[in-house]
Amino acid sequence: MNSLSPDELRREVAKLWWYHSIDLGNGVVTPGVDNSPRKLQRVQLPASLKGKTVLDVGAFDGFFSFECERRGATRVLASDHAVWHGGHSEASKKGFELARRTLGSKVEDMDIDVLDLSPERVGGQYDVVLFLGVLYHMRHPLLSIEKVASVTKEMLILETAVDMLGVKRPAVAYYERDELGNDPSNWSGPNPAAVVAMLRTAGFKRVEIVAGTRSFFFRFARAAYYKYKRNFPFWAALPTDRIVVHAWK
């Protein structure tokens, strides 16, 4: 359990760069760049995970792992590699570790690349697997989905950026440099049809988009905003959005 006073905890939190906004109690919320509570609503986790095992692939600071534990999962394994392995200029695994200590959480952790996932490496298959915000970081999107499928027993919850929204057939945009969001760690932008098709190819029998793309007008306004705010290329941002998909074996 955490033995820090709220003021000490606040000081420890302030020393770190946070991706997730995690409520650590006593009025301390980590100042994440991500609006994690809003993402949680969009992702639509099962209300109860009682008796389930959960693998959170690309867990970062662990917001979703801790939430699954809170919803009753018997075992949660948080895995990550890029950020936990020094691949980020400011973030590290320290946020996850501080949050876990403070919450008195029993979430387990493993530093493992998506492409190394297998039942042998992660101790079997998990009832529910989260693959949130990771697919577009993958150079090999289908292979990544196949690796994630190999460790999924029942249900996969996938959240991702999507691109090429004008194209109806399955298509994947490839980012050689930093075309998606000026971020060189982004490599592939599948369209929703490609996400669904790749999940089926990887063996999921039922695939549902539970949070789809927003209207053209919404995306137009957002692309204009990001051009003004962060100088993101307007025409590259316009055909992009994010989706959430639930898939069952």
Ligand X SMILES: C[S@@+](CC[C@H](N)C(=O)[O-])C[C@H]1O[C@@H](n2cnc3c(N)ncnc32)[C@H](O)[C@@H]1O
Q: Does residue 52 belong to the site contacting ligand X (CB under 6 A)?
A: no
Q: What is the 3-state secondary structure (H, E, C) of 207-231?
A: EEEEECCCCHHHHHHHHHHHHHHHC
Q: How many residues belong to the site for ligand X (CB under 6 A)? A: 15
Q: How far is the CB of 139 from ligand X (least distance, A)?
A: 9
- CB-side neighbour CA atoms (13 Å) of 89: 3
Distance CA 243, CA 157 (A): 11
The stretch among 99-107, 133-141, 215-223, 238-246 that binds ligand X (CB under 6 A) is 133-141
Residue pair 59/44 in contact by the 8 Å Cβ criterion:
no
- Kindly calculate the radius of gyration of the chain based on its CA atoms and give it in whole angstroms: 18
Distance CA 186, CA 137 (A): 4
Closer Cβ to ligand X, 78 or 205, answer by number: 78
Closer Cβ to ligand X, 91 or 236, answer by number: 91
The stretch among 10-18, 98-106, 127-135, 148-156 that binds ligand X (CB under 6 A) is 127-135
Show the DSSP H helices in the chain as ranges.
6-14, 36-43, 63-70, 94-103, 119-122, 141-150, 192-201, 216-230, 234-237
Q: How far is the CB of 216 from ligand X (least distance, A)?
A: 25
Binding mask 24-43 for ligand X (x = CB under 6 A): ----------x---------
Pairing of strands 53-57, 126-132: parallel
Task: Return the residue of 30, 53, 55, 60 that touches ligand X, per CB under 6 A.
Answer: 60
Task: Return the residue of 28, 78, 132, 180 that touches ligand X, per CB under 6 A.
Answer: 132
Q: Does residue 58 belong to the site contacting ligand X (CB under 6 A)?
A: yes
Q: How far is the CB of 7 from ligand X (least distance, A)?
A: 28
> Who contacts 130 (Cβ-Cβ below 8 Å, separation ≥6)?
43, 54, 55, 56, 57, 64, 68, 156, 157
Binding mask 69-108 for ligand X (x = CB under 6 A): -----------xxxx-------------------------
Interface positions with ligand X (CB under 6 A): 34, 58-60, 80-83, 113-114, 132-134, 137, 159
